[in-house]
Structure formats: C-alpha cells, structure tokens
Amino acid sequence: MTHKFHPTVLREYDIRGVIGETLGPDDARAIGRSFGTLLRRAGGKKVAIGYDGRVSSPILEHALCEGLTATGCDVVKVGLGPTPMLYYAEASAEDVDGGIQITGSHNPPNYNGFKMVFQGRPFFGADILEIGKIAEVGDWLDGSGSVESREIMGEYIERLLAPIVALDDVGKDRLSTLRIGWDAGNGAAGPAIEALVAKLPGEHFTLFTEVDGHFPNHHPDPTEEKNLADLRQLVADKNLDFGLAFDGDGDRIGAIDGEGRVIWGDQLLMIYAEDLLKLVPGATIIADVKASRALYDQIAEHGGKPLMWKTGHSLIKSKMKETGAPLAGEMSGHVFFAHEYYGFDDALYAGVRLLIASARLGRSVTELRGAMPDMINTPEMRFQVDESRKFAVIDEVKDRLKDSPDEVNSTDGVRVTNDDGWWLLRASNTQDVLVARAESDSEAGLARLMEQIDGQLALSGLERGPQAAH
C-alpha cells in the first residue's frame, strides 16, 4: 500500500491543504503511518495528538490516530485546544516522544493541516518531505498501538500561571490593578483563555471564546489590523489597560495598547526584552529579518546580544536551541520563551508574560508602547513571482550588491541598511511570492528605499505592482 500527497500540501513548516480538494482523511492516515514509522525507527513510540476548532478536525484526528497505531505507536489524545497545549503535552510528559496538532492555523475555514514536533525538536523542511517519500513507496512499519485520552488543559493552565508566583508583592499588587481584553477570534484557544483569565489577578474581558470553525466574527489572524477592530472597540468602551488577540490555533499573539495603537510583533519583543534583560543580563535575543532596527538597537542598549535570523517559527526554534537564547520572536506574532518555559511559541504564555513585564517594569503597556521610536515603515508587501524564479531573483540581487557601500545582510534574502534606514527582499518559503519591507525615520527616506527595491526588481525583469499587505 502506498500514498501520494497533492503536490501543494507538504510545505516548509507544516502540512496544509484545502479539505475535500487537496487534503482529506486518507492523507491524515498516511501522515500518521509515515510519522509513526520515523518515530519508531528513531527509538520513540508514544505520540500526543490534539486538534483545533475547525469542522474537519475531528475526522482528520480519527484517521491520523488510525495511521499512527497501525505502525505500533501508542497515541495520547489531548483533544480540542490550542497548538501550544499540544506542544506542552509533548514537552512536559516523560513518556511522550512526539506530537501532532491538527490545525489550519489562521487560514480560511476550508483549510486544515498538521504541525509536528519530534522528540523535542521542530519537525519541518526535509522532515516533511521525508513523510511524502515514505508514503509514496509505502515504506511503513506495521504494528498495533494503543490509544488513551489524557486531560491536559488544567495542568497546562497551571503552568501558564507559574511565572506569577515568582513576582514580588509590588509586582503582584500591580497585576491586581490591570484591566485587560482578550479576543480569541472563535479559535481553538477560547476555552483555555476562559480558564486562564478566571485564575489571573486583575479584571478581564473576553471576546469570541466560543470555538467556531466558521469564524463568524472576524478572521483569526492578529497580524491583520482589520481583525483587531473588535478588540480595539472593547479596549475603548471599557477603558482597558490593553488588549490581546490570538490566531486560530493560539501560537501567535497580537496586541492593542490603551490608546488603541497596535503593538506589532517586534514592538512586543522590545517590551519582553527589556524585562528579560533585567533578569538575564547579556542574554542573546533572536528576531527575524523583518523586525525593526529599533528592536535590535533597544536589545543592545539594554545590554543584550541581538541576533537577526531567518523568518519561520521552526527555524527560529532551532536557532534558539543552538544558541541557548532565552527569548525570540517574529513580526508574525510568534513569541518564544525558553526563559522559565519550553522555548516553543505559545501566545497564551506570551500574554501572561506581557502582564508580568508591565508589572515588573512598573510602567503601563501604553507607556511602554509610547516610548518606542516612531519609525515609518511599509506593511509586509507580497507579490507573485514564478516559483522557479523566486530564489534566483534573490541571488541576482545579492550578486549586484556585493560591492555596495551599504550594509548587506544575507541571513534570509537581502536586508540592506543605509543612512535612510533599511529594506528587505526575501523569497517566501511557503508561497510563490517575494516579500518586501522597508523602514525609515522619514517619508522621504522611505521613498528612496522603495526606489531601491523597485530598481533591483526591474534589473531582474520584475516590478512590484499591486501587492497585498500581510
């Protein structure tokens, strides 16, 4: 028996497709058999599986379970919940060797997919391609594994609350005065958020915590400002200190301050970094190439070691393990705490740490946001380019800039820094698009940076044209 996946579903960081078109139960079964085979060959045997709130998730869970047990793997079902709860189940249980979350993340309702962790490390890139190769030739182990259900939510919530215990009395008093809004966007994190806020000090107001895979109120992607409108209204109406928003599977965070300003991913990291560097002086803090120069400058000013790295949650997690960095983050709202936590991206934990950072620093989130420099930047711009050309174009740009007087960083694409600010051009790992971004401290500087991007694209026979902000 063999299985061939649709060519679009095996992606860089996860497996994702459209239910009934490119992804279905047969795929889930084959993923289970291939993952289970790899795990058993590596000496593992037990896999935790969870799922998000999409309509298709329970069907995929059933098929995934069949595939895993058919290889002789034992399955621990943790049920409906956010992706970080599944990561927690894998990281905290000594008897669990791997984990798979069924989730479409922030994609439209008709999508679904799988995020995986393998013996404590991210499972991506070549690992995911290996799933396809094993399935295509049917190189599966046979066996008969067991299935158990494990209630993990309560234990997970207690773990999220743990850092509050370490606060001094002044910090705890400050926490008790906070008034905060939480928007779950009808995603899988809703019930966990309700359980969490019931135990947090302070006053809390929740939106859309009922899990609904049709996402009736707004799309669960906190990096799109339009999706923060309900939270912004709640913060204004109730005069709250700040508001938090979550994506469909609870591994990415967004925030609004008390004045309704968005706190973007790199700005959140500035707050976390200032707090953390008081506790871990000189620590390395990782951010992706799309982050503001203000973040890297601020980490250095507070005595930390800023490290610019490639975009992609699996790539960041791997770099954290390599460097021992206690904190990392991306523009997309993935935040990773290895300090007093496990190093995976958990938006609920990041939410708790934002409360604590404000309390420990003795300043409101609105004050912390207001103190940040006013950089002028573009949204993330994406534009179509043929799959066969996207990496070639980046190589051509690098080649043309090899004698440039500007600072050229090629960690992930090309990031060019000069007196006007910086611009970035990189190839997406998951789509046939190039991604561009630029930042300056003046409108004129930003215009000059955009001219440089357009000039480089023109030299490679492309134009920026109409693009969607992401």
**Which of 370, 390, 420 corresponds to the end of one domain?**
370
Same domain, 365 and 388: no
- Tell me what pLDDT residue 468 has: 37
Domain that holds residue 451: 376-469
* Per-residue pLDDT tens listing for the chain (470 residues): 899 999 999 988 889 999 999 999 999 999 999 999 999 999 999 999 999 999 999 999 999 999 999 999 999 999 999 999 999 999 999 999 999 999 998 888 999 999 999 999 999 999 999 999 999 999 999 999 999 999 999 999 999 999 999 899 999 999 999 999 999 999 999 999 999 999 999 999 999 999 999 999 999 999 999 999 999 999 999 999 999 999 999 999 999 999 999 999 999 999 999 999 999 999 999 999 999 999 999 999 999 999 999 998 889 999 999 999 999 999 999 999 999 999 999 999 999 999 999 999 999 999 999 999 989 999 889 888 988 899 999 999 999 999 999 999 999 999 999 999 999 999 988 778 899 999 999 999 999 999 999 999 999 998 876 543 33
Q: Phi/psi zone of residue 173: left (φ > 0), alpha (ψ -120 to 50 degrees), beta?
A: alpha
Nearest 5°: CA angle at 111, between 105 and 114?
55
- Please give the Cα distance from 351 to 181 (Å, whole number): 11
- Tell me what pLDDT residue 109 has: 92
- Tell me what pLDDT residue 273 has: 98
Same domain, 185 and 332: yes
**Domain contains 8:** no
Q: Which of 34, 56, 105, 358 is catalytic?
A: 105
- Tell me what pLDDT residue 467 has: 46
Whats the size of the chain, residue-wise? Answer: 470
Same domain, 219 and 249: yes
Same domain, 181 and 329: yes
- Please give the Cα distance from 25 to 56 (Å, whole number): 9
- Please give the Cα distance from 36 to 18 (Å, whole number): 24
Structural domains counted in the chain: 3
DSSP code of residue 226: G
Same domain, 276 and 337: yes
Nearest-10 Cα torsion for 42, 336, 330, 122: 0
Which among 86, 88, 94, 92 has a CA at the least distance from the CA of 64?
A: 86
**Which of 108, 135, 151 corresponds to the end of one domain?**
151
Same domain, 294 and 172: yes
- Tell me what pLDDT residue 469 has: 36
Long-range contacts formed by 300-309: CB under 8 A, 24+ apart: 302/273, 302/274, 302/277, 303/277, 304/273, 304/276, 304/277, 308/409, 308/411, 308/415, 309/411, 309/412
Residue 105 appears among annotated catalytic residues: yes
Same domain, 99 and 122: yes
The two structure tokens encoding residue 69: 């047990």
Same domain, 161 and 304: yes
CB 312 within 8 A of CB 12: yes
- Tell me what pLDDT residue 383 has: 85
The two structure tokens encoding residue 237: 């109406």
Q: Phi/psi zone of residue 356: left (φ > 0), alpha (ψ -120 to 50 degrees), beta?
A: alpha
Same domain, 144 and 159: no
